Structure 1
Amino acid sequence: MTDIKATSSTSATTAPTAGRPARRLGQISLVACLGGLLFGYDTGVANGAEGHMAQELGLNVLQLGVVISSLVFAAAFGALFAGRISDEIGRRKAIITLSVLFFLGSILVVFSPAGELGQFYGPGFATLVTGRIMLGLAVGGASTVVPVYLAELAPLEIRGSLTGRNELAIVTGQLLAFVINALIAVTLHGVIDGIWRIMFAVCALPAVALFLGMLRMPESPRWLVNQGRYDDARRVMETVRTPERAKAEMDEIIAVHSENNAALPGVKQSSGQASGQVSSKHTHMSIGEVLSNKWLVRLLIAGIGVAVAQQLTGINAIMYYGTRVLEESGMSAEMAVVANIAFGAVAVIGGLIALRNMDRLDRRTTFIIGLSLTTTFHLLIAAAGTLLPEGNSIRPFAIMILVVGFVLSMQTFLNVAVWVWLAEIFPVRMKGIGTGISVFCGWGINGVLALFFPALVSGVGITFSFLIFAVVGVIALAFVTKFVPETRGRSLEELDHAAFTGQIFKKA
């Protein structure tokens, strides 16, 4: 059997990718990350728009929760099915399809009729929620497919930073949403009606850019190999690698593909197929095949655990309801909308730091540092909520500073690393179902928080809410330490091979 580790460390497969290939990789990441930008804007735009929307449309708290959380719950299903769809039709075509969903969803939201929106079964409310569901399907799909697409195109030595650009695009989109919301609220509130519609309309523009851009982008070479399209894969690889490196990587990818085919039960070659080439119906694993291998089951549990732990830090509760948290701390509504920009700004700063460190620090080390810091800030926020009574002029600013510290820690050490790790950890045959199920579980928890977080803060207050997050953070630290394997410094082919044999856990 091929020594994958030795192969992946040869000079040919680690030679720097410079010149035209490097520029081409930059173009690909820029276009694909528009999916992350849309992800960020669509999840962040409600933070600041929800108050204007509820006031104009007469939505009660439950209806508002349905509108906001419908995107998040739909994202769970988008993540689950988009991964499998991308296994069938390709990463590129899947992203093009998602761009259409982003555009159509934003159009439905913007043009939701105002009549009878206060009723659950009115046409306006149904249109609004349908648009949010379409956006959610697109957001969840982008969260699964875009990182995998980038990871499968990236060279080993910059895979972390290249894949992590998508998370930077996400928080940049959230920051843009916060800034645009604040500008519109300050300049147009009271001047024109329906300013929340303008806030939501902005996301149609990058959706068009993503659609047009992806028409000119290549397919993932590893997906092409998995389809048996070796010549097409070689042509793509030659555009993003130097010639010597392209040949060495393709030889390695095909060798691992052949070995894994031989290891899977029921996979047979026909007489007309090249070595390692299988029919399209065998290009991805079923859930039954995953469950038949104890190491793949353990890997799936690790993926689910990391995705869920990321959401249970409460980061998206802040990104969705940051203005509400600030108002609960004692800040005025107008000041809270503007101050909320700080959360988006430090998220981008943290993302830039994370990209710098992504190919320098192990993923597990990054997770442990991040969870330690976020849990510490949870405790500090809870302490500030207790020690500084309501009405104290310092209280809202102290809590804002601590929440800023939490967001910065989260973005610097967890968010980027989690999405990169999820894009790396599963074998190519399992990527669709493994990444899909993991992100589905993460989005499911995200949806529960989006639905109930406002009621939680209003009911038990800031102190107890963040104490809950702190307890979960301790549990997540224990889980990461025991169950999460390392991926940095290992080629996707080495990880692919090691996953089936359990060797992937030896370095955990």
Structure 2
Amino acid sequence: MPASPVRSREDAQNAAPAAAQPMSGRLRLIATVATCGGLLFGYDTGVINGALPSLVSDLRLTPFLEGLVASILPFGAAWGAAFGGRLADRVGRRRTLLVLAVVFVLATVGCAAAPTVTALVVARAVLGLAVGASSVIVPVFLAELAPAHLRGRLVAQNELMLVGGQALAFVCNAGLATAFGDVPHVWRYMLVLATLPAIALWMGMVVVPESPRWLARHGRGEEMVRVLHRIREDAYSETEARTVLELAAQDAARPAGRLTDLVRVPWIRRIFVLGASMAVINQISGINAIQYYGVSVLQDTGFGGNGAFYANIVPGLVGVAAVALAMHLLRRVGRRRMLLTGLAGTASSLTAFALVYLLLPDGNPARPWLVLACIVVFVGFEQCCVGTVTWLYMSEIFPLSVRGVGMGACAWLLWMMTFVVGLSFPLLTQALGAGFTVLIFVALQLVAIVWVRRVAPETRDRTLEELEQHFRCG
């Protein structure tokens, strides 16, 4: 019996350890360009944090409208994620990202120029479509470009750009609040800055090649080999190219992936349940409550003037450092172990947050600083271990035939959870207070820890083709 493609790949790795092969300069450049989508994702989700106080005052928003303005972007993102993956499967990852860059620019200008709340909500919903589609396509694009030993690092780089975009938004918000704090429309200046990375994404994607695995899936084998040569350079492997072509040929003989395949085919259904659970786990930490309402929470705890804007920069920078640490750890520590550690850390830090909020009275000078410390620890664990690993899991577990539709369905669920969290947080804090609201997130994370321990497999150092074979065999 001839050796399987997977075994051949393992033999090749034993002969020349993948870990010894550094990332090529061309692959590094492509990853930097593609992750401008992650930067936009981060900036557009983080900028509302500092823009809300000005928006509430300028447009006289009620708590419901405040929640709607903040959460309508993830609502649009859910639908962008649902259809973005399918579009990328049909026309290609690169071409879809080019179109999204244009949508980013137009929708951002629409948000900044919106004359009414209704116009702002519509523009942010359209912007959400681009954010959601890019949140699906960029991780998949990176996972398909990367060799197995670099896949975690490259997909984590997108998460690094995401939190970098959030930190950039926090810094810009603080600077603009200081410079133009007495201008009622300062929120417009905060929003419009997102056009700059959108233009950079479009310019970069013009020269970036298509995903080699997408090319193989669509019968463009010679072009796939040329792309692999370009992005691997000295680390190019004929064994890898042959494996990709063989599995792509098997997938091409099957019907194109459909949404029903995610529940109709038993082994794919198991993958979908795992991916959906990761989408839910990503959001029940409450990270987007902090990202959207951090300035408001810090103002409520006692930071006066522009102090809340500057205090809010600290967790943003910690998030960047945490994802940078994750990029290092993912090559040495298993995904499952990191996820369990992150959930334990976020549950503990949010418990401490709730106790400080409930037990220390208003006016206590230690209260705002202790709350900030709890937020910093929470963001560190979440961004290093939970956010990074859940997106990585979703990008690598689906087989090629349903990768776009599977990732899209999971991202739809993730963004709908974000919408629910963003819309309900102001209403819950108004009814229960921030302390008791946070305890709801703690309880949900304890459930997530049990789920991960029982269900989540380890995926580190396995090629996408090996993972497909693993799930097929149960």
Normalized against structure 1, the TM-score is what? 0.89
The 8 Å contact of residues 39 and 161 in structure 2, kept in 1 or not, is answered as: yes
Q: Partner residue of 2:335? A: 363
| Residue correspondence of structure 1 range 371-386 to structure 2 within 5 A | 371-386=343-358
* Alpha-carbon shift at residue 130 of structure 1 (Å): 1.8
Residue identity in the other structure for 1:30: T
Distance 1:144 1:370 in 2: 23
Q: 2:150 maps to which residue?
A: 158
- Residue of structure 2 in register with 1:425 after alignment: 397
Rounded Cα–Cα distance in structure 2 between residues aligned with 1:29 and 1:258? 27
Q: Is 1:199–2:190 an aligned residue pair?
A: yes
SS for the counterpart of 1:332 is coil
Residue range with higher mean Cα deviation, 416-425 or 219-228 = 416-425
Aligned to 1:457: 429
Q: Matches of residues 24-43 of structure 1 in structure 2 within 5 Å?
A: 24-43=26-45
1:506 corresponding residue in structure 2: none
Indicate the residue corresponding to 1:278 in structure 2. none
Aligned match for 1:217, one of 186, 205, 208: 208
The residue type equivalent to 1:7 in the other structure is S
Amino acid at match of 1:257: A
Which one is further off, 467-476 or 61-70?
Answer: 61-70
The secondary structure found in structure 2 opposite 1:426 is: coil
Structure 1 residues 174-183 or 326-335, which shifts more? 326-335
Distance 2:128 2:93 in 1: 18
Q: Which residue of 2 aligns with 1:491?
A: 463
Letter in 1 for 2:12: S
1:55-84, CA deviations, whole angstroms, 9 ceiling, x for partnerless residues? 122333222222211101111111111011
CA contact (8 A) 1:17 1:241 kept: no
In the alignment, is residue 441 of structure 1 matched against residue 413 of structure 2? yes
User: Is the Cα–Cα contact under 8 Å of residues 8 and 14 in structure 1 kept in the other structure?
Assistant: no
Q: CA deviation at 1:320?
A: 0.8
Shift of 1:160: 0.4
Aligned mates of 1:93, 1:69 — CA distance in 2: 28
Aligned to 2:231: 240
Give the secondary structure class of the aligned counterpart of 1:458: helix
Contact preservation (8 Å) 1:17, 1:242: no
Residue number in structure 1 paired with 2:93? 91
Specify every segment of 5 or more residues in structure 1 that has no aligned partner in the other structure, as ranges.
114-123, 268-281, 503-508
Partners of 1:2 and 1:109 in 2: how far apart? 57
Q: Equivalent residues in 2 for 1:409-424 (5 A)?
A: 409-424=381-396
Q: Shift of the alpha carbon at 1:335?
A: 1.6
Conserved 8 A contact 1:105-1:130: no
User: How many angstroms apart in 1 are the aligned matches of 2:203 and 2:242?
Assistant: 32
1:326 and 2:280 equivalent?
no
Q: Tell me which residue corresponds to 1:505.
A: none
Q: Deviations over 1:212-264 (max 9, x none)?
A: 110100000001111111111111001012467332211011122234456xx
Q: Could you say which residue in structure 2 is the equivalent of 1:3?
A: 4
| Match in the other structure for 2:442 | 470
- After superposition, what is the alpha-carbon deviation per residue over 1:354-378, rounded to whole angstroms, capped at 9, x for unaligned? 1111111111111111111111112
Tell me which residue corresponds to 1:176.
168
Q: Tell me which residue corresponds to 1:23.
A: 25
**Hey, what's the Cα distance between the residues in 2 that align with 1:359 and 1:479?**
24
- Judge which range, 130-139 or 4-13, deviates more: 4-13
Alignment partner for residue 227 of structure 1, among 204, 218, 225? 218
Counterpart of 1:403 in 2: which secondary structure? helix
Distance 1:215-1:238 versus aligned 2 partners, 3 A rule:
same
1: CA distance between counterparts of 2:173 and 2:328?
A: 30
Q: Where does residue 128 of structure 1 map in the other structure?
A: 120
Does 2:118 match 1:146? Answer: no
Give secondary structure in 1 for the equivalent of 2:260. helix
Partner of 1:121 in structure 2? Answer: none
Change (3 A) 1:110 1:304: same
Tell me the TM-score normalized by structure 2: 0.95
Q: CA deviation at 1:286?
A: 1.2
Task: Note if contact 2:217-2:252 (Cα within 8 Å) is conserved in structure 1.
Answer: no
Q: CA deviation at 1:23?
A: 0.5
Instruction: Note the aligned Cα RMSD (angstroms).
Output: 1.8
- CA 1:330/1:256 → structure 2, altered by over 3 Å: closer, same or farther? same
2:321 is matched with 349
Letter in 2 for 1:363: R
Residues matched between the structures, number = 471
Give the 3 Å change call, closer, same or farther, for CA 260–106 of structure 1 in structure 2.
closer
* Contact persistence 2:64–2:426 (CA under 8 A): no
In the alignment, the residues of structure 1 paired with residue 460 and residue 19 of structure 2 have an alpha-carbon distance, to the nearest angstrom, of: 17
Name which of 161, 177, 183 aligns with 1:185: 177
